[in-house]
Amino acid sequence: MSPAVELFKTKIMLRKISGTIIAALLSASATSVSAVVPRVVADITPIYSLAARVMDGVGVPSLIIQHGASPHGYLLRPSAAVALEKADLVFWVTEGLTPWLKSRLETLAGKAHVIKLMEVDGAVRLSFRQGATFANHDDHQSYDEHKDYVDPHGWLDPENGKIWLDVIASELSEIDPANAGIYAQNAAVGKAEISEVAAQIDSTLASVRGVNFIVFHDAYQYFEKRFGISASGSISLGDASAPSPARVAKIRAKVAELGISCVFSEPQYSPGLVTSVVGDADIRRGTIDSLGAELELGIAFYTKLLESIAKEIAACGKDLVMADVAQVLVYNV
């Protein structure tokens, strides 16, 4: 075979190899584009959990406020700032919960689509309760400045959780239509999980409705109204700021008046305030947490959060029932 023929065959072979490589590169490029996962950021752990449920099998969201930290007056971490700068979608509750975050979103997340969950269609919204014992105008502290605002703790109503799952799935599908089916299916599974847990909670709390209890700060009215229980007051305001001496005095009076059975503190705040209110009174002390600081963060976090609150309140009521039974037994003996 002549050198000219060999050269010609070599050129043909190189062209084929080159074509194959180019085709492979183009295919890989197309695959990598379609495989790009939307960059999603959530403000607090319950919203992170809902987003993680919808994104299951596709990706994982980022969290702004560190697990276990209070959202009130939080100092943004550098890693969270970077996540916001790169975000495609940001889900946050509202500035009523994190007023400091609004400006950060404007400056850092300018390229992202930002969804304020308390303002989406269908979301259950309740007004802030007023005063230490939730009676109108019984406390003239700075809380009056917030009285027309929406209570931002809406994630504690499971109906909101279900609505927000659909919102998250819809927003993700807009920017990632290739995975729209997965998002919709995950949202449907998440809603079924929430409905099942809500039914269990309703049964768990059935025997303790009417128990008088006080919470550390007024974060639980969505949970209370959904499940037919009612706190008699809160030590701190809805934004977890320190109570005034007048507020503490009103709570003490309420404890004596109603024979309060339980007082619940929260892990993010000093238990000293609880002690300052109840003193040495024979009142059961428990811990409930609207943000689930002690729970493992993940897909199941949201439903476990609701369950944990219900179990602690139910435990208070159970203790009281057992005490009443013991008294009856002693009396009959």
| CATH label of the domain that carries residue 115 | 3.40.50.1980
Are 310 and 205 within 8 A, CB to CB? Answer: yes
Q: Provide CB contacts within 8 A for 142, sequence distance 6+.
A: 237, 241
What's the pLDDT at 144? Answer: 40
Give the separation between CA 216 and CA 229, rounded to whole angstroms: 16
Are 277 and 248 within 8 A, CB to CB? Answer: yes
Count how many domains the chain has. Answer: 2
Q: Within this chain, do residues 103 and 210 fall inside the same structural domain, yes or no?
A: no
Are 143 and 96 within 8 A, CB to CB? Answer: no
Residue 164 resides in a domain:
yes
Q: Within this chain, do residues 196 and 282 fall inside the same structural domain, yes or no?
A: no
**Of the candidates 225, 219, 254, the residue with the CA atom closest to the CA atom of residue 132:** 254
Residue 94 resides in a domain:
yes
Q: Within this chain, do residues 210 and 178 fall inside the same structural domain, yes or no?
A: no
Of 174, 202, 230, the one marking the end of a domain is: 202
Residue 52 resides in a domain:
yes
Q: Within this chain, do residues 219 and 234 fall inside the same structural domain, yes or no?
A: yes
Output DSSP code: residue 118: G
What's the pLDDT at 5? Answer: 41
DSSP 216-258: EES--HHHHHHHT---SEEEE-TT-PPPPHHHHHHHHHHHHHH
Residue 123 resides in a domain:
yes
Residue 242 resides in a domain:
yes
What's the pLDDT at 1? Answer: 54
Tell how far CA 41 is from the center of its chain. Answer: 13
Q: Within this chain, do residues 237 and 95 fall inside the same structural domain, yes or no?
A: no
What's the pLDDT at 225? Answer: 96
Residue 228 resides in a domain:
yes
Residue 137 resides in a domain:
no
Q: Provide CB contacts within 8 A for 284, sequence distance 6+.
A: 261, 262, 263, 316, 319, 320
What's the pLDDT at 97? Answer: 94
**Domain span including residue 285:** 205-332
Are 187 and 165 within 8 A, CB to CB? Answer: yes
Q: Within this chain, do residues 189 and 68 fall inside the same structural domain, yes or no?
A: yes
Return left, alpha or beta for 131; rule: phi > 0 is left, psi -120 to 50 is alpha, else beta: left
Q: Within this chain, do residues 113 and 236 fall inside the same structural domain, yes or no?
A: no
Q: How many CB atoms lie within 10 A of CB 304?
A: 15
Q: Within this chain, do residues 176 and 107 fall inside the same structural domain, yes or no?
A: yes
Q: Within this chain, do residues 289 and 249 fall inside the same structural domain, yes or no?
A: yes
Give the separation between CA 74 and CA 88, rounded to whole angstroms: 23
Q: Which helix (H) or strand (E) holds 113?
A: strand 113-116
Are 261 and 320 within 8 A, CB to CB? Answer: yes
Of 169, 186, 202, the one marking the end of a domain is: 202
Of 202, 237, 261, the one marking the end of a domain is: 202
Q: Within this chain, do residues 305 and 178 fall inside the same structural domain, yes or no?
A: no
One digit per residue, the tens of pLDDT, for the chain of length 333 reads: 554 444 444 445 445 544 443 343 333 333 333 468 999 999 999 999 999 999 999 999 999 999 999 898 889 999 999 999 999 999 999 999 999 999 999 999 999 999 999 999 999 999 988 776 776 534 433 334 444 579 999 999 999 999 999 999 999 999 999 999 999 999 999 999 999 999 999 999 998 888 889 888 889 999 999 999 999 888 876 555 666 777 777 777 777 776 788 889 888 776 777 777 777 777 888 899 999 999 999 999 999 999 999 999 999 876 554 444 333 333 333
Residue 287 resides in a domain:
yes
Q: How many CB atoms lie within 10 A of CB 303?
A: 22
Q: Within this chain, do residues 173 and 322 fall inside the same structural domain, yes or no?
A: no
In degrees rounded to 5, what are phi and psi of residue 219? -120, 0
Q: Within this chain, do residues 235 and 252 fall inside the same structural domain, yes or no?
A: yes
